[in-house]
Amino acid sequence: MGRSHPTVPDLRLLPPVLAGWLAVRLGLTHAPATTLALSAAAAAVSVPMLCFSGRCKPLVPVGATFLVAASLATSAALHVYALQLGPVSELAASRARVTVTAAVTGDPKPVKGIILLPISIDTVTAHGTALRVHSRATVLARSDRSAASSAGASAASGLSGASGTSSASGVSSASRASDASSAWSALLPSMHVELTGRLLPPKDPADGDAATLTVNQPPRVIGGPSVIQSIAGALRSDLRRAVAGLPTEPAAVLPALTLGDTSAVPADTTADLKTAGLSYLVVVSGENLVFLSAAILPLARYAGLRAHALPVFAALLALGFTALARPGPPMVRATVTALLASVALSTGRRFRGLTATAGAALILMLIDPWLAHQYGFVLSVAATAGLLISAPGWRDKLIVVHRVPSWIATTAAYTAAAELYCEPLLVTFTGSLPLYSVISNVLAVPAAPPATVLGIAAMAGYAIWPPAGHAAAWFAQWPTRWICLVAHGVAQVPGAKVPWPNGLVGMSALLGAYVIGRRLTRSLHRIHDRRSPV
């Protein structure tokens, strides 16, 4: 029986993607005039390579790479220019007190007593003048943990002082703080709110924010969420209700595995998932979409969807799940890739995963250059590249040459490939290497698909008939518990996290270790081949 050779991946789009990413990073961190000058130079270099391609065809890919880099850098420069000239940036520079109306663009996130809320400002009123704008910003507001604790202290001091007025005042303050926190936590994406506070310069302008808005008062809702976000918000609440009867840890982790809702995950569980190299499981991404599609699409096919209808259904499924799980950078990348795949399949073209991933990355960086500065987006692209380029060959070699069982070989190869491609980026800000991540993934990853699918079933079941949701959640807790057990167990093993330099030094050192390891592996293979009998 002959050995099947895996299809060689098409790597022609990788140089344009890498060059485009570097060009966007340059455009976001340098003056627009400098970026536009460099873009013009790159475009000028690409023109002769593309126009006279008949004489020297090998120069065509080089010219295309220069042209892509020039286009993306130009887009980044124009975005930065618009951001810097906007009135919101000018008001932030002067730390002006303003009233804004804005659309909520994400879920409120409590961090160390502060609530972070991404918004898109529609109008800003300062010094008696109202201006219509379109600028991103992040709201910083006190959460109930800080506000209520100070109010609670006031109440306690009032009681100890035997003052009925002070006690009532303290209790009233705590109640107001709790009401304010509830007002923030009730916000959904697409809601429109009115906020009053002080504009400050953003912490990192390369993230795309024009300002940071600090507020001390709860928001005033002036427009409800869209129909889609209302349904999504209700379903997310249904999942939280469905798991309410479970033990604390699985009740908190299951919504994170299913929809990326990490609001209730305990801090020690989060830390152990990171140490074990399993934290990506609670960040909603294309992996969740793959699990859901693998469960739903066969049912759609069984129901009679064929030909063009099935890709259209798959596209609607991807869009619906994105609205449900929130469009974070990894999810956006996965959704655009899925839409490109649906277009290819519906038009009878062959789907190439690497081409679709590269195309999605280029399209998104052109439309929203700030994504190139988001680690979630970059890591998503890098991990997917590893899964498509290296993992299939490694899996086949483990199965055919080393006789490793298929499920172990598949999990180990795909985990190792994703780690290999992502770790040089991760180490720049983590300063450590998860030594046992492949082992922990081999043990834990088989539980992720049933946990995700059963979590979706619990959410849908509770929306239809609550007892069905509770039943599905009860079954979903067991794969969830297994994942947590693996994370806790691996995190306790000595050397689970190896210290490593961070920043560019750490990245360069790790890439150098890759090169040395590759050469050493080849040398060992040559020695083994020489000693092996013919």
Higher-pLDDT residue of 442 and 74 is 74
Mean pLDDT of the residues in the chain? 87
Q: How far from the centroid of its chain's Cα atoms is residue 307's Cα?
A: 32
Q: What is the C-alpha separation between 297 and 306, in angstroms, rounded? A: 11
Angle, CA of 116, 117 and 119, to the nearest 5°? 145
Q: What is the C-alpha separation between 430 and 404, in angstroms, rounded? A: 32
Angle, CA of 130, 132 and 136, to the nearest 5°? 115
Q: What is the C-alpha separation between 5 and 242, in angstroms, rounded? A: 47
24 within 8 A of 72, measured Cβ to Cβ: yes
Q: What is the C-alpha separation between 520 and 508, in angstroms, rounded? A: 18
Calculate the alpha carbon distances from 154 to 134, 146, 182, 215, 458 in Å. 41, 13, 21, 22, 42
Kindly tell me if the per-residue pLDDT of 120 is higher than 90: yes
User: Residue holding tokens 């109930």?
Assistant: 144
Q: Where are the beta strands (DSSP E) in 289-418?
A: none
pLDDT score, position 162: 45
Sign of CA dihedral 21, 24, 28, 30: positive
Kindly tell me if the per-residue pLDDT of 191 is higher than 80: yes
* pTM of the predicted protein model: 0.85
Higher-pLDDT residue of 43 and 159 is 43
In which band, very low, low, confident or very high, does the pLDDT at 151 lie, cut at 50, 70 and 90?
Answer: very low
Residue 129 has φ and ψ, to the nearest 5°, of: -115, 130
183 within 8 A of 204, measured Cβ to Cβ: no
- Long-range interactions of 402-411: CB distance < 8 A, separation 24+: 407/446, 408/442, 411/441, 411/442, 411/445, 411/446
Q: What is the pLDDT of residues 282-313, one digit of tens each?
A: 988 888 888 888 889 888 888 888 778 888 89
First-to-final CA distance of the chain? 20
Q: What is the mean pLDDT of residues 11-37?
A: 93
Nearby residues of 393 by Cβ (< 8 Å), 6 or more positions away? 6
pLDDT score, position 163: 47
The string of DSSP codes covering 470-495 is HHHHHHHHHHHHHHHHHHHHHHTSTT
Q: What is the pLDDT of residues 364-407, one digit of tens each?
A: 999 999 999 888 899 999 999 999 999 999 999 999 988 899 98
| Structure letter (DSSP) for residue 331 | H
Kindly tell me if the per-residue pLDDT of 203 is higher than 90: no
Q: How far from the centroid of its chain's Cα atoms is residue 526's Cα?
A: 41
Kindly tell me if the per-residue pLDDT of 57 is higher than 80: no
Q: What is the mean pLDDT of residues 223-234?
A: 92
Nearby residues of 480 by Cβ (< 8 Å), 6 or more positions away? 250, 253, 254, 257, 447, 451
Q: What is the C-alpha separation between 278 and 271, in angstroms, rounded? A: 10
Residue 209 has φ and ψ, to the nearest 5°, of: -80, 140
pLDDT score, position 2: 43
| Structure letter (DSSP) for residue 225 | P
pLDDT score, position 532: 63
pLDDT score, position 179: 61
- The one-letter amino acid at 470: H
- 43 burial (CB, 10 Å; 0-12 / 13-18 / 19+) is middle
92 within 8 A of 200, measured Cβ to Cβ: yes
pLDDT score, position 180: 63
Higher-pLDDT residue of 170 and 254 is 254
Helix (H, G, I), strand (E, B) or coil at 136: strand
Kindly tell me if the per-residue pLDDT of 449 is higher than 70: yes
Pick the range with the lowest mean pLDDT from 13-22, 115-124, 141-150, 266-275.
141-150
pLDDT score, position 73: 96
Kindly tell me if the per-residue pLDDT of 143 is higher than 80: no
Kindly tell me if the per-residue pLDDT of 501 is higher than 80: yes
Nearby residues of 149 by Cβ (< 8 Å), 6 or more positions away? none
Q: How far from the centroid of its chain's Cα atoms is residue 118's Cα?
A: 15
Q: What is the mean pLDDT of residues 270-278?
A: 92
Q: What is the pLDDT of residues 318-352, one digit of tens each?
A: 999 999 998 889 999 999 998 888 888 777 777 78
Q: Which of 115, 324, 94 is nearest to 216 (CA)?
A: 115
pLDDT score, position 511: 92
Q: What is the pLDDT of residues 160-180, one digit of tens each?
A: 444 444 444 555 554 555 566
Q: Which of 469, 452, 410, 441 is nearest to 294 (CA)?
A: 452
